[in-house]
A and B are shown apart, each in its own frame.
Chain A
Amino acid sequence: MNQQTLDKRLEETADRLIGIERTQENRVYLLCESENVYDVCRFLFDTLNLRFVITTGVDAEHCFEVLHHFADDECGCMVTVKAFVRDRENPELDSITPLIPGAEWIEREIHDILGIAFTHHPNLQRLILNDDWPEGVYPLRKEVQP
């Protein structure tokens, strides 16, 4: 798929998005609310056959941002689904692990260090923090100072 075709196909999911940002020719951000993230990722992964690269989690102070990065290896375009998790008290987001098994560990890691609960995740246990780390303390949140 070339870049023009990809851009056209991305429009098909526009009703689930709150915006499309483009920082470079081959760097597209799909902004969406947390309830739509699974559907958008399923569209990219199953319909457009993009490759899942990695997920990143960001504490943006007023909300959490979870970014699922996908790549189209034919045209070299990176498509990022940026989901806003606006509830800071009980941050929840639909897991994409039922769709993409490769996302299991990175979602566990984000749950460890940012405290975002991924619903429908098959095994949301501690992954990278040490065994005696206190429950409910998430080290990469802004309010936690070492």
Chain B
Amino acid sequence: MNWKLWSLKKSVWVFHVNTGACNNCDIEIVNLLTPKFDVERFGIKLVGSPRHADALLVTGVGTRQAALRLQEVYRQTSKPCVVFCMGACACGTGIFEGAYHVAGPVDKIVKEVDPNAIVAYVPGCPPKPEAMISGVVKALAAI
């Protein structure tokens, strides 16, 4: 394993991107950081800048207004990085499929920038914090 990948998996610093979520997924993500789940004990830490991050936690459907911003955030994230699509909307636009404000699911938007992007999906509306932890563990095991 190369050292970049090893350091990514050792302690995942995540940056949270909301691309048009209803805030439900965001609240569950905040829940991950509270003492009940406390993901910092696994080395998972929320950071304030994509330049410091190893992973993007993307919530929301990917609106037209947010799509360009998400692509810019992805460009700024240090590589290698993992994109986590949190929730039904981010995974596949959910109930907003075909709506006038939707640019596409998050994986499609990110892959316009980098076709080889590593994308992991955690469906649910919203996904439980346990499901999010499970998704992160499975994704890191698969890399």
Contact = CB atoms under 8 A, between A and B. Distances in A.
Contacts of A130: 63-65, 101
Contact of A133 (B64, B98, B99): B64
Interface in B62-79: 63-65
Contacts of B63: 130
B73 to A, nearest CB: 17
Contacts of A136: none
Interface in A91-116: none
Interface string B41-66: 00000000000000000000001110
A146 B64 contact: no
Contact of B101 (A131, A132, A139): A139
B3 interface: no
Contact of A132 (B64, B98, B99): B64
A92 to B, nearest CB: 24
A146 B65 contact: no
Contacts of A144: 100
A68 to B, nearest CB: 25
A129 B99 CA distance: 12
Interface of A: 129-133, 139, 144, 146
Interface of B: 63-65, 98-101
13 contacts: A129-B65, A129-B101, A130-B63, A130-B65, A131-B65, A132-B64, A133-B64, A139-B100, A139-B101, A144-B100, A146-B98, A146-B99, A146-B100
Given A130-B101, A131-B65, A146-B100, 11 more contacts: A129-B65, A129-B101, A130-B63, A130-B64, A130-B65, A132-B64, A133-B64, A139-B100, A139-B101, A146-B98, A146-B99
